[in-house]
Each structure stands twice: as C-alpha cells, then as structure tokens.
Amino acid sequence: MRGHATDRDRFYIMTIYDRQVTGNLEKEGETLRLWAQTYPRDPIAPGLTSGYFAAGTGRYQLFVDKAKETIALGRDDVERVIVDYYDVVWGYLALGRVTEAEQALRQATARADHPHAVTHAYHLAFLKTDSVGMQRQIALAKGKPDREEGVANLQALALARAGRLGDARESARRAVHLASVAGNRERSAAYETAMAVWEAWYGHAAAASRTAIQVLAVDNGRHVTYAGALALAISGDTARAQTVADDLDRRFAEDTSVQYNYLPTLRALAALKAADPSRALELLRPAATYELAQPGISFYGAGGVGFGAMYPAYVRGLAYLALRKPAEAAGEFQKILDHPGVVLEDPMGALARLQLARAWTLAGDAGKAKAAYEDVLGLWKEADPDVRALKEARAEYARLP
C-alpha cells in the first residue's frame, strides 16, 4: 500500500521495513539520508538515524549528532525530544566519554523522567566502577515494571562478569520472570539466552545447552535465535548451531546483524571446534566491516538485552591464540578492553582480560602477562570459588616466572 502513501509516509514505511523486516541497515540509512534531504526540517529522519541504524553500524558519533539535531528540530514534540535527550547519553556511553554522558544524563533527567534514566545511570556507575551507584539504581528500579526488569538483567550481566555466577543466575531469573509476567515472551527468551551464553563462556556447557535448546524450541525472532545458537556453539554443539546459522542465512540474507556479526561468529566457532583457526579467521573477515557495532541482540532499541557486541573480535582473538600468534591475539582482546562503553556489563569483557593474559604469556612477556592476570583476578576477587576460569587464572598466574 505504500504506493498510495504521501512521500513522507513512504519514507517512513521504507525505513521501518528495512529496519524490522529485511534488517538491511545500510539500505535504511540511504532512505533516511534521502528523507532528511527532502524534508530538512522534519525531526523524524534524524531521530531514526540516531537509533538502531547508527548503533547497528557502529557510528556512535553520528548517533550523538543526530540525536542533538532531532532535539533542535523537534522542540514542539515533547515526547520525541525526551527520547533523544537520552539517546545523547547512550551515544556518549558507547564512545566512552563518561563525563559528557553524565552531563547529558543530567540534562535528560531535568527534562523528564524515562526508563532509560535508571539503565543509563547504571551503565555510568558501571563504567566508573561505582558499586554504590549501581546498587542505587537497582533500588530506584525496584517495584517499577517499566525499569526493574531491564536493571535486573544488567545486574545479572555485571554479576556474571565478576564471577558471582550464583547471584547472577538469581538476578537473571528475576528478569525472565518479570518479562514473562509483563507478557513479553521475546524479551523473556532474550534474558534466558543471555544467561545461557555466559554460562557457556564460563564452561557450563550442559546448563547452557539445556536453556538454549528450550528457547530454540519456541518460535523466536532472529536475535534470540542467534543467541540460543551462540550458546550451543560456545558449548561445543556446533552441528546444531550451524543448522540454526544456515536457517538464519536463508531467511535474513540482507540483515546487517545476521550477515556481518551472527553468521561469522557462529561459523568461526565451528571452525575452531574443528581445529581450523585459519578458516575461522577467514569466516570472520566480513565482521570487520562493523567491528564496533551493537548487533540486534545487544541494542535495546532493536529488542536486544545488552550483550553480544564485539564477539567477532573475541573469537578472532581465540583463533590467533590457536595459531600461536600472540601479538595479533592480544590486539583483538585489547580492542575489546579499549571500548568499555560498547561492551558494557557483558561478561565476555572479563574473559577478554583472561585471554589477553594468555596471549602475553604465549608471547613470553611476563610483565604484561602478570599485569593482565592481576587485572582479571582483581575483577574476580569476589567470584564464586568453584568458577573454573578463576581456578585456571590463578594456576596460570602462579606459573609465571
């Protein structure tokens, strides 16, 4: 029916179609650029640019710039402007510009309250290693359905990152329950797969696979489906994960997250499982196009739940380690650590520190290896004592000269 719509409405229809149906973010971006050129005073085009298009392609300065442009153009649209004030915060967070993010958050909260007020404040406290501030946001969210669920998920990720897996499971189950009570089946499944993925990263293959299989048995969207397959692939069930990957490839041949993040990651993990790290590096080559992007499973505006960014870099680092190329491996893991505002609370960020220590050990640089091990052991100072990665890190550290 778009042929019967006005030009402006046609732009909107085409934009949302490519964002939500094909997933082709570059095509969405072309439409948004043409829309902005045709209607330069329309705040909707820059507002949509400052969202999944910018984050999903890793263009965070554009994210900030277009949010500010929307604010300037849409002063009469109070609801739209409020969202974009919080988008400015989000963009600065991703860029790692904490001071500017704090200033922007003060401006946003002075303008109006919003569920992002708590989640953004939690991210800020996390980036500043302010545990008191993180607890404050958890308390502020309690009893508020529009924000407690999301904060419970972030808390679960942060706890898992710190190796406190028992507490993390409890918080994750609370997020799953709250989403289920609210009738949001897709988000509930996303929280479940988030837990399955970090269980898999920490070596709990049976628990991860069990959860992933349960989620994949239900008809879920592309992002949750990927997350379930990812948990299986990390756990070693690459055959089942590859079946899911092939299905995603067939159904979402244009999708930016699928083609440039999900499929390279799943297929590279399968190659590593088959002891073919060179093949893994080749399969990961397309992912470099959007190295810093927030894929759909990570970006909240696309239904994501805050994990999954920069996984291709992590898997690439594992491939270099398998090839005994420590300098290249260290470069990949350091890249992750250099972008804390992209990775945020994702437990993979902690494991990247451990892998960096292993890369420097392989390189024979005991000084850098010790510093990296001390970094991760400090992060895991309150970890559950039976966490296998913690035991391995301690033993590896003790063997250093």
Give per-residue pLDDT as tens, 270-288: 999 999 999 999 999 999 9
Percent of the chain, pLDDT > 90?
90
Residues 6+ apart with CB under 8 A from 396: 357, 358, 361, 373
∠ CA(366), CA(369), CA(372), 5° rounding? 150
Distance, CA of 393 to CA of 26 (rounded, Å): 42
Type of residue at 84: D
Residue at token pair 């292993």 = 358
Q: What is the pLDDT of residue 302?
A: 67
Confidence of residue 7 (pLDDT cuts 50, 70, 90): confident
Residue at token pair 């900030």 = 64
Confidence of residue 163 (pLDDT cuts 50, 70, 90): very high
Q: What is the pLDDT of residue 262?
A: 98
- Whether the CB-CB separation of 91 and 67 falls below 8 Å is answered with yes
Residue 199 CB-density burial (10 A; 0-12 exposed, 13-18 middle, 19+ buried):
buried
Q: What is the pLDDT of residue 219?
A: 72
Mean pLDDT of 309-334: 98
Q: What is the pLDDT of residue 154?
A: 97
Distance, CA of 215 to CA of 112 (rounded, Å): 37
Q: Is the pLDDT of residue 19 over 80?
A: yes
Mean pLDDT of 21-44: 96
Terminal alpha carbon distance of the chain: 71
Q: Is the pLDDT of residue 350 over 70?
A: yes
Distance, CA of 192 to CA of 150 (rounded, Å): 13
Q: What is the pLDDT of residue 79?
A: 67
Mean pLDDT of 223-242: 97
Mean pLDDT of 142-149: 92
Percent of the chain, pLDDT > 70?
98
Q: Which residue ranges make up each domain of the chain?
A: 1-128
Distance, CA of 154 to CA of 191 (rounded, Å): 10
Q: Is the pLDDT of residue 301 over 80?
A: no
Distance, CA of 114 to CA of 167 (rounded, Å): 27
Q: What is the pLDDT of residue 304?
A: 81
Type of residue at 38: T
- Whether the CB-CB separation of 58 and 293 falls below 8 Å is answered with yes
Q: What is the pLDDT of residue 80?
A: 67
- Whether the CB-CB separation of 320 and 329 falls below 8 Å is answered with yes
Mean pLDDT of 45-71: 95
3-state secondary structure of 244: helix
pTM, entire model: 0.95
**Residue 296 CA to its chain's centroid (Å):** 8
- Whether the CB-CB separation of 289 and 256 falls below 8 Å is answered with no
Confidence of residue 87 (pLDDT cuts 50, 70, 90): very high
Mean pLDDT of 327-345: 98
* Tokens found for residue 28: 């969405």
Q: Is the pLDDT of residue 362 over 90?
A: yes
Q: What is the pLDDT of residue 111?
A: 87
Q: What is the pLDDT of residue 3?
A: 80
Q: What is the pLDDT of residue 77?
A: 64
User: Tens digits of per-residue pLDDT, 202-230?
Assistant: 999 999 999 999 999 987 799 999 999 99
Range name among 68-72, 377-381, 395-399 with the lowest pLDDT average: 68-72
| Interior/surface letters 114-138, b for 16+ CB within 10 angstroms, e for the rest | bbbbbbbbbbbbbbeeeeeebeebb
Distance, CA of 70 to CA of 336 (rounded, Å): 31
Q: Is the pLDDT of residue 241 over 80?
A: yes
Distance, CA of 256 to CA of 225 (rounded, Å): 15
The Cα-based distances of 345 to 43, 196, 307 in angstroms read 32, 15, 8
The Cα-based distances of 335 to 83, 127, 269, 310 in angstroms read 30, 16, 19, 9
Distance, CA of 45 to CA of 34 (rounded, Å): 9
Among 1.25.40.10, 1.20.1440.230, 3.20.20.10, 1.10.10.60, name the CATH number for the domain at 1-128.
1.25.40.10
Q: Is the pLDDT of residue 247 over 70?
A: yes
Q: Is the pLDDT of residue 78 over 70?
A: no
**Residue 176 CA to its chain's centroid (Å):** 18
